[in-house]
C-alpha cells in the first residue's frame, strides 16, 4: 500500500513537472511571437555590478528601433550610443533592474557615454591604445573654468612681455579657460610632476621661430609651476637661446632661435646683405644633438615679403640667386632639415616632433583677432596660409627614415582667434603705448598667443603622446 502511494505521488509530480514545462514553453513562444510582432525583444541577463565594471559596459534604455549590441564596449571612435539613448552611470547599476520594470523598451548593451570614455581601452579582443581610438587633433573647445588655466601668470615670473596679456592690461580672462576635447575620447589634465618624472635626466630641445618660443615659455611655465622655485633655474641669452632646468629631476628644456631651420648669414663685405643658405642647417644645429626630445617648426618667416623679408639672396649648392620658383626655397630647406634628422638623430634614443603651422587671424581674413573673447564656432572656417607649404612638410616627413611625430595643431588653433595677444603685448622689446593700443589696425598682434593660453594645449598634446609611448619615456 505504501509503495502504491509513493508511486502515485511520483506520477503526480511527474505530470505537474511536465505540465509546468509545457506551460513555460508555451508562454516563452507566445512572448517571442509577440516580441517579433511588436518589435520588443526582452533580454534576460544577470550581471553583477563588479562584472559590468570590469567589462566597461554601460546600460542604456532605448526604443526598439535603436536596439543594437556593440562588441566595442569602451571608447571606439566609431561606436556611439544609440540616438536618444539615456545613459545610466555604473554607480547606479544596482537600481537598473528596478527602473527597467518601469520603462517600456529593451535593455541594450552599448558603448560607454562620452563622459566615461577617458581611460577606457578594454574591448573583446584585448587592449586598444587611446591613439588608435581617436585622433587627438580633431575635436572641440569646451569652456572649463574649474580646471583651466593649468597655471597662473604670477607663477611664471620669467614670462616675456610679449605674451603676458593680463599683466599688460587685457581686461578679460575667458581665453584662459578653454579646454581641448578630442572627438571620441578624452585626454587627461596635464600633470606637471608626472611630466617631470618622464623627463628625469633628459633634455628637451625646441627649435624654431617666435611661435616655438611661445611654446617653450608655455612648457616651462607648466613645469616651473610644479616645482619649488628655488629648485628651478631659468636663463636666457637674449631671444636666441633660453633654458629651463629642474634641479631635482636633472632635466632641461631649451629653446634655440632658428626661424628658417637653415642658415641666414650676412655676406662678407658689409652692406647688410643677407643670404639664406637653403642646404645648410642653422649654426646651432650642433647643439641640438643628443636631445631626448626635439620639437621643430618653421613656416611664417618664409612668407614674408617687402619690408618684412629678411634675406636678399638664396644660396643652393654654392650658387646665389635672387629668386626661386614657387615654394622651391622652402622645399629645399625642409629636405635639408630632413637629411640632418636622418643622419644626426638616433630614433631609439630621441623622439622628434614637427609642429604644424600656428594660424594667424589678421584683419584681412575676416576673422580678425582684435577684441575677440570667444573661439570661432564655424567649423567650415578655412585659413589662408599656403597649403602647398603644409603639403611639403607632411610629404617630407612621410618619406623620412627617422619617425617624426607630426604635432598637427593648425586646425584646433584656427578656432582660437580670441587667444592672441592683440594689443596687450610688446613690439621690438617695448610695450605698446596707449596711443598704439588705440590703433589696433596697425599694432594688434594676431600671430602670437597669450599665456596662459592656447600653446598650453600644444604641450598637453605632446604630454598625451608621450604618455601613450611610455616604452620610450
State pLDDT tens for residues 280-311.
999 999 999 999 999 999 999 999 988 889 99
Closest CA to 100 of 140, 25, 152, 45: 45
Do 201 and 113 belong to one domain? no
What mean pLDDT is predicted for residues 249-268?
Answer: 96
The domain containing residue 33 runs over which residues? Answer: 1-38
Predicted pLDDT of residue 239 = 85
Give the separation between CA 265 and CA 275, rounded to whole angstroms: 5
CB 219 within 8 A of CB 251: no
pLDDT in tens, 428-447: 889 999 999 999 999 999 99
DSSP string, 23-77: HHHHHHHHHHHHHHHHS--PPP----HHHHHHHT-EEEEE-GGG----S--S--T
At residue 245, the 3 state secondary structure works out as strand
Do 329 and 274 belong to one domain? yes
Structural domain includes residue 130: no
Contacts of residue 140, defined as CB under 8 A and 6 or more positions apart, other chains included, come to 181, 183
Out of 49-63, 266-280, 293-307, least confident range: 49-63
Number of domains present in the structure of the chain: 3
Contacts of residue 357, defined as CB under 8 A and 6 or more positions apart, other chains included, come to 299, 300, 385, 389, 390, 410
Cell of 359: 594660424
DSSP string, 111-168: PPPGGG-TT--EETTEE--HHHH--TTSEEEEE-TTT--SS-GGG-TT--TTT-TTTT
- Comparison of pLDDT for 187 and 66, the residue scoring more: 187
What's the alpha-carbon Rg for the chain, to the nearest Å?
Answer: 31
What mean pLDDT is predicted for residues 252-257?
Answer: 98
Euclidean distance between the first and the last CA atom of the chain, given in angstroms as a whole number: 86
Do 198 and 77 belong to one domain? no
Q: Residue 110: pLDDT band by 50, 70, 90 thresholds?
A: very low
- Comparison of pLDDT for 132 and 207, the residue scoring more: 207
Structural domain includes residue 459: yes
Structural domain includes residue 131: no
Predicted pLDDT of residue 341 = 98
Predicted pLDDT of residue 141 = 96
Residue 47 pLDDT > 70, yes or no? no
Beta partners for 99?
none
CB 55 within 8 A of CB 64: no
Do 323 and 367 belong to one domain? yes
CB neighbourhood size of 115 (10 A): 9
Active site annotation includes 94: no
- Degrees, nearest 5: CA angle 266-271-277: 25
Do 231 and 298 belong to one domain? yes
Residue with cell 595677444: 421
Residue 6 pLDDT > 90, yes or no? no
CB neighbourhood size of 363 (10 A): 14
Dihedral pair phi/psi, residue 259, rounded to 5°: -65, -20
Across all residues in the chain, what is the average pLDDT? 78
Cell of 443: 599694432
The pTM of this model reads: 0.72
- Comparison of pLDDT for 255 and 307, the residue scoring more: 255
DSSP summary character for residue 281: E
CATH at 356? 3.40.50.1110
Burial 178-195 (b: 16+ CB within 10 A, else e): bbbbbebbbbeebebeeb
Do 241 and 385 belong to one domain? yes
Do 173 and 293 belong to one domain? yes
Active site annotation includes 248: no
Give long-range contacts, CB 8 A cutoff, 24+ apart: 377-382: 377/415, 381/414, 381/415
Do 84 and 207 belong to one domain? no
Predicted pLDDT of residue 392 = 97
Percent of the chain residues past pLDDT 70, beyond the cut: 70
- Catalytically annotated residue among 62, 418, 445, 456: 445
Do 171 and 255 belong to one domain? yes
Structural domain includes residue 129: no
- Catalytically annotated residue among 210, 226, 258, 358: 210
Residue with cell 580633431: 138
Do 300 and 403 belong to one domain? yes
Torsion of CA 287, 290, 295, 300, to 10 degrees: 30
Do 27 and 156 belong to one domain? no
Structural domain includes residue 472: no
pLDDT in tens, 178-200: 999 999 888 999 999 999 999 99
Amino acid at each position: 500500500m505504501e509503495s502504491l502511494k509513493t508511486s502515485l505521488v511520483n506520477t503526480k509530480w511527474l505530470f505537474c513537472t511536465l505540465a509546468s514545462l509545457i506551460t513555460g514553453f508555451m508562454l516563452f513562444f507566445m512572448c517571442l511571437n509577440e516580441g517579433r510582432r511588436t518589435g520588443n525583444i526582452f533580454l534576460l541577463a544577470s550581471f553583477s555590478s563588479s562584472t559590468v565594471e570590469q567589462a566597461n559596459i554601460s546600460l542604456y534604455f532605448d526604443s526598439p528601433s535603436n536596439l543594437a549590441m556593440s562588441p566595442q564596449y569602451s571608447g571606439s571612435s566609431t561606436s556611439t550610443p544609440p540616438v536618444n539613448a539615456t545613459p545610466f552611470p555604473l554607480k547606479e547599476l544596482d537600481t537598473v533592474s528596478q527602473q527597467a520594470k518601469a520603462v517600456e523598451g529593451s535593455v541594450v548593451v552599448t558603448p560607454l557615454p562620452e563622459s566615461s570614455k577617458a581611460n577606457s581601452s578594454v574591448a573583446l579582443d584585448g587592449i586598444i591604445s587611446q591613439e588608435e581610438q581617436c585622433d587627438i587633433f580633431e575635436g572641440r573647445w569646451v569652456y572649463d573654468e574649474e580646471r583651466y588655466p593649468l597655471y597662473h601668470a604670477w607663477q611664471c615670473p620669467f614670462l616675456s612681455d610679449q605674451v603676458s596679456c593680463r599683466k599688460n592690461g587685457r581686461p578679460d580672462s575667458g581665453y584662459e579657460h578653454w579646454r581641448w576635447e578630442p572627438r571620441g575620447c578624452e585626454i587627461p589634465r596635464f600633470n606637471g610632476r608626472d611630466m617631470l618624472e618622464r623627463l628625469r635626466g633628459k633634455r628637451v630641445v625646441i627649435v624654431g621661430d617666435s611661435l616655438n618660443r611661445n611654446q617653450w615659455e608655455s612648457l616651462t611655465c607648466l613645469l616651473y609651476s610644479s616645482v619649488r622655485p628655488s629648485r628651478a633655474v631659468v636663463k636666457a641669452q637674449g631671444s636666441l637661446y633660453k633654458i629651463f632646468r629642474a634641479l631635482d629631476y636633472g632635466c632641461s628644456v631649451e629653446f634655440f632661435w632658428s626661424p628658417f631651420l637653415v642658415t641666414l648669414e650676412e655676406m662678407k663685405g658689409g652692406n647688410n646683405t643677407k643670404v639664406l643658405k637653403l642646404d645648410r642647417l642653422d649654426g646651432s644645429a650642433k647643439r641640438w644633438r643628443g636631445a631626448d626630445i626635439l620639437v621643430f617648426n618653421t613656416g611664417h618667416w618664409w612668407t614674408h615679403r617687402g619690408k618684412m623679408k629678411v634675406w636678399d639672396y638664396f644660396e643652393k649648392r654654392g650658387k646665389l640667386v635672387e629668386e626661386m620658383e614657387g615654394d622651391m626655397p622652402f622645399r629645399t630647406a625642409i629636405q635639408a632639415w630632413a637629411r640632418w634628422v636622418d643622419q644626426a638623430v638616433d630614433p631609439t634614443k630621441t623622439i622628434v616632433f614637427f609642429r604644424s603651422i600656428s594660424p594667424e587671424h589678421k584683419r584681412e581674413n575676416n576673422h580678425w583677432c582684435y577684441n575677440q573673447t570667444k573661439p570661432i564656432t564655424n567649423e567650415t572656417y578655412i585659413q589662408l596660409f599656403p597649403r602647398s607649404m603644409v603639403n611639403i612638410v607632411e610629404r617630407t616627413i612621410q618619406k623620412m627614415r627617422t619617425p617624426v611625430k607630426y604635432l598637427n595643431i593648425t586646425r584646433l588653433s584656427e578656432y582660437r582667434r580670441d587667444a592672441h595677444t592683440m594689443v596687450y603685448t610688446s613690439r621690438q622689446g617695448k610695450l605698446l603705448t596707449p596711443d598704439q593700443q588705440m590703433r589696433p589696425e596697425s599694432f594688434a598682434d594676431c600671430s602670437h598667443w597669450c599665456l596662459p593660453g592656447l600653446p598650453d594645449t600644444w604641450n598637453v598634446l605632446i604630454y598625451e603622446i608621450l604618455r601613450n609611448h611610455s616604452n620610450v619615456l
